[in-house]
Structure formats: structure tokens, C-alpha cells
Amino acid sequence: MIANKKITIVLPAYNAGKTLEQTYKEIPFDIVDEIILVDDNSKDETLEVAKKLGIKHIVTHTENKGYGGNQKSCYNKALELGSDIVVMLHPDYQYTPKLIHSMCYLIANGVYEVVFGSRILGKGALKGGMPLYKYIANRLLTLFQNIVMNKKLSEYHTGYRAFSANVLRSVNYNINSDDFVFDNQMIAQIYYAGFEIAEITCPTKYFEEASSINLSGSIKYGIGVVATSFAYFFQKLGIYNFNIFKKLNNIT
């Protein structure tokens, strides 16, 4: 805990058997209270490794629900456990768990309610092995999104994110896509709900075992990102009401 706030790490896992233990061992358990692993019907030894590590909260999908569907299960379980701060950490070891302290302290101390680990702040993305075409696509999409959404994030596409429970209760993430565009829909929801997003520099690692979207998936994701950005733009102008921005009953 930090300032009596319960901290939960959620691990959206799919075929993470080779990297889960390395990721888990770097989690700072001096502040972390709970670990939740959601296995999205992996075809490798992910579940066996999770059980060997003694992870208490394991949620298993009997069919693959996709990256967004996995996150929904992660956040729903975290809220069920009464978490105050929830950090999504990929178990493929692409993002270092050593930033969890910094991300959580910003939220626990009331500075921000959402913190992202950005691979683009600084110059570590390409050095860390991010493919050039992904780096260029990241920069172009982020520029487009910042213009359309009138924001100044360094990147919208990081998978390293920390939220207060208040944020998770204030956006209807369960209505979002089960695919990769879930991440961008959630950003749009967060901004529309009136929250700001802090960013800290995050080194990145690309290697064979690290999860990644293939080219066709990247194209589909890019189209979804553009559509989400325009949805936010038109919603803010009051031209059209999109389902993902429908308020929940507990939003003040």
C-alpha cells in the first residue's frame, strides 16, 4: 500500500509462459498488495508458471477473448477486490516493472489519476528494438490524435498504464472493443470524463518472446484509432452521441 491505498497489478496474459516469471520477480512487492493474472486461453505453459509462482488470483478464459476482452476481466476483478490503484503490466517483459513505484506514487499522492509509461519520451524506442515501421506509425497516429482530440500525449499506444479505481468506475470500458483498439477507446473515455493523463519515460524491449501485432492487425488497429479519434471529436462538438461515451450511473 501507499497512503493506505490498495495497489493491484493486473497481468493480461496470452502465451506468456517464457517471460512471466521474469516479469513477476521484478514486481515491487513492498507496495503491491494483489496480483491478478487473466489467461486468455493460452496454448503454452502460462497457467502452470502462474500457479508455480503462487499467483493467488488467476482468471481463465475458456476461449480467446482478445486483448481488450482480457483487460475487461483484469479491471473487473481488480475492482471486485477493492483495489484503489490498478496497474496494467504486460507479462511479456516488454515493459519494466521497476516503474511501478513512480506510477503509483503519482496516483496515491493525488497528483494524477492516470499514468502511462511512454516509450516515445526520450529516445529509447528505436534503441530498444521497436521496428522502424511501428515507430513511424506510432508517431503519425499520435500526431493525428493530438490534433483531432486537442491533447498533447507523447504516445497513445503504450500498454503500460496505471489508473485510480475512481477512473475505472467512471468510464464504461466494458462496452469497448475486445480487440487492440480497446486501449484507444479507453483513452478517449478517460479524456471525455474529464481526467488528465500523466506520462513517464519508459524503456522498451522488443525480442522474440515479446507480444506484438502483425501487419494486418496493425492496419486494423490504425483504422480503429482514427475512428475513435473522430468519435471523440464529434462527441465533444455534440454532433453525435457514441455508445462508448455513455455515462455510468456513478459518474458525478
The per-residue pLDDT for range 189-206, each reduced to its tens digit, is 999 999 999 999 998 877
**Mean pLDDT confidence for 26-40:** 98
pLDDT band for 18, please (50, 70, 90 cuts): very high
Burial state string for 187-206 with b = 16 or more CB within 10 A and e = fewer than 16: bbbbbbbebebbbbebbbbe
Rounded CA-CA distance 39/24 in Å is 15
Q: Domain for residue 93, yes or no?
A: yes
Contact 88, 10 (CB under 8 A): yes
Closest CA to 162 of 228, 76, 75: 75
Q: Domain for residue 38, yes or no?
A: yes
Q: Domain for residue 158, yes or no?
A: yes
Number of domains in the chain: 1
Phi, psi of 58 (to 5 degrees): -120, 125
Is 249's pLDDT higher than 90? Answer: no
Q: Domain for residue 1, yes or no?
A: no
Q: Domain for residue 250, yes or no?
A: no
pLDDT in tens, 72-123: 999 999 999 999 999 999 999 999 999 999 999 999 999 999 999 998 887 7
Strand partners, 36: 10, 57
Q: Domain for residue 252, yes or no?
A: no
Q: Domain for residue 232, yes or no?
A: yes
Query: CATH code at 40?
Result: 3.90.550.10
pLDDT in tens, 203-213: 887 766 555 67
pLDDT in tens, 35-84: 999 999 999 999 999 999 999 999 999 999 999 999 999 999 999 999 99
Contact 87, 7 (CB under 8 A): yes
Q: What is the pLDDT of residue 252?
A: 38
pLDDT in tens, 136-181: 889 999 999 999 999 999 999 999 999 999 999 999 999 999 999 9
**Range(s) of the domain holding residue 138:** 7-245
Rounded CA-CA distance 170/173 in Å is 9
pTM (two decimals): 0.92
Q: What is the pLDDT of residue 239?
A: 95
Q: Domain for residue 40, yes or no?
A: yes
Contact 38, 73 (CB under 8 A): yes
Q: What is the pLDDT of residue 241?
A: 93
Residue scoring higher pLDDT (222 or 247): 222
Contact 156, 235 (CB under 8 A): no
Is 1's pLDDT higher than 80? Answer: yes
